[in-house]
A and B are shown apart, each in its own frame.
Chain A
Amino acid sequence: MNAALLTVLPLAGTGDAVVPGSSTGDAAVFWVLAPIMVLASLGLLFARKAVYAALSMAVVMVSLGGVYVALEAPFLGMVQVFVYTGAVMMLFLFVLMLVGVDSSDSLVETIRGQRLVGALAAGGFLAFVLVALGRTAWPTPVGLSAVNEAGNITGIAERIFSRYVFAFEMTAALLVVAAIGAMVLAHRERSGERATQRTISENRLKRGQRMTPLPPPGVFARHNAVDTPALLPDGTPSELSVSRVLQARGQTLTTGTLVEHVPAIQEDMDPDGRGSRTHGARLDGKPDDTRPTRPEPHEPAGRSDRADEES
């Protein structure tokens, strides 16, 4: 085939004797994209947070798409961007988020000698292969302009649906199996009876848990954001009204700071001081200790509701 292409090439009418890949445009693409890709991949290697690693990986993928286009493989370039950057990398990010951003590993090595030997192996591999490549005599690049004359997609399609048709059909089976496999792996068998509304409420009663819905946050005109606890009828702030995630992160307004604001607020609401006294009985800043404590305060954020329903 090569010989045939070599004879065809002059007829393709490229005219100039420029060796494919040696043009200035190619060089520009290389010198722009190659450092970006190397740096981004180094980011994958060294980034402390997994999300940063995934994002640098996405950079590499997108750059590779550009490289493919430059290398006369426009179809592959598109697929690279669509499939890899669009689907695969987003799947990675999705799983990363699902697993938890905070599970990013520390860069402290736990296996003795792993890092040193790994660096030696990688460096040795790189050096050996580069030397071996450098010592190899390569043929003069032929280029794909002749082959791509009918269109790159057409050329690839001809191959996929003729010579590689069996392999292509096998990939279909592979993808189906992969999809089913993912479903099997992600599926969780229900261990007990499905909890009905009745059983859930009965369980709540048995455990003495809270019967009513949680109070919504931030009813004060001054602070109606989710990080602001609501005030109970007696004027005490309710910690139940704030998301536990925010509490765990220390991102809520504490009741203490809020209480400091109470006199000023009352001042605003009732400048005459004739307001309802009954409401101000406990406005001394002390928390209301008679309230039931929150159930399972140590449950990780975002998972407690589920655990309640299943138990």
Chain B
Amino acid sequence: MDLMNWVYLSVVLFTIGGATVLVRRNAIVVFMGVELMLNSANLAFVTFARMHGDLDGQTVALFVMLVAAAEVVIGLAIIMAIFRARRSASVDDANLLKY
């Protein structure tokens, strides 16, 4: 089996995550799509770390996780705040900033 299969898998997951962001309206689900994209990137990092025999990839993946954790906290807090103000968790309802 080729190590590259993992990379292909990460591309597929990334695309699905992106499609989730594009298609779903529930802000939390959209957010999960973003998380999926981050995780697929991590998968690629880890795969390449193995391919090149260098732990840098894993280290970067660890940092990605850290940043993603911080991002989740803030993102969910924002979603909560918006929900409290607008009684809605739909990203389409927050559309006042427009022409």
Contact = CB atoms under 8 A, between A and B. Distances in A.
- A-B interaction: yes
B76 A95 contact: yes
B72 to A, nearest CB: 5
A164 B15 contact: no
Interface in B68-89: 68-74, 76-81, 83-84, 88-89
B55 A144 contact: yes
8 contacts: A60-B36, A75-B58, A105-B24, A122-B22, A129-B11, A164-B59, A167-B63, A174-B67
A41 to B, nearest CB: 4
B94 interface: no
Main secondary structure of the interface of B (DSSP, over half): helix
Interface in A94-123: 95-96, 98-100, 103-105, 109-111, 114-115, 118-119, 121-122
A38 B12 CA distance: 8
Contacts of B51: 21, 138-139, 141-142
Interface residues of B, number: 70
Contact of B74 (A19, A155, A182, A188): A182
B49 A144 contact: yes
Contacts of B62: 75-76, 79, 156, 160
B61 to A, nearest CB: 6
A84 B16 contact: no
A2 B32 contact: no
Main secondary structure of the interface of A (DSSP, over half): helix
A242 interface: no
Given A21-B50, A92-B76, A105 B90 contact: yes
A163 to B, nearest CB: 8
Query: Counting chain A CB atoms within 10 Å of each CB, which of B46, B47, B65, B68 scores highest?
Result: B46
Contacts of A155: 55
A131 to B, nearest CB: 11
Given A73-B49, A119-B19, A175-B69, A103 B89 contact: yes
B70 A57 contact: no
Contact of A182 (B35, B46, B50, B73): B73
Contacts of A95: 28, 76, 79-80
Nearest to A87: B69
Contact of A72 (B9, B50, B84, B88): B50
Interface in A212-230: none
B69 A185 contact: no
A2 B20 contact: no
A5 interface: yes
Interface string A71-89: 1110110011001100110
A77 B9 CA distance: 17
B58 A73 contact: yes
A44 B29 contact: yes
Interface in A131-166: 133, 138-139, 141-144, 146-147, 152, 155-156, 159-160, 164
Contacts of B61: 73, 76
B50 A144 contact: yes
A132 to B, nearest CB: 10
Interface in B31-66: 31-33, 35-36, 39, 42-43, 46-47, 49-56, 58-59, 61-63, 65-66
A253 interface: no
A101 to B, nearest CB: 11
Interface string B1-23: 11111111101110111111011
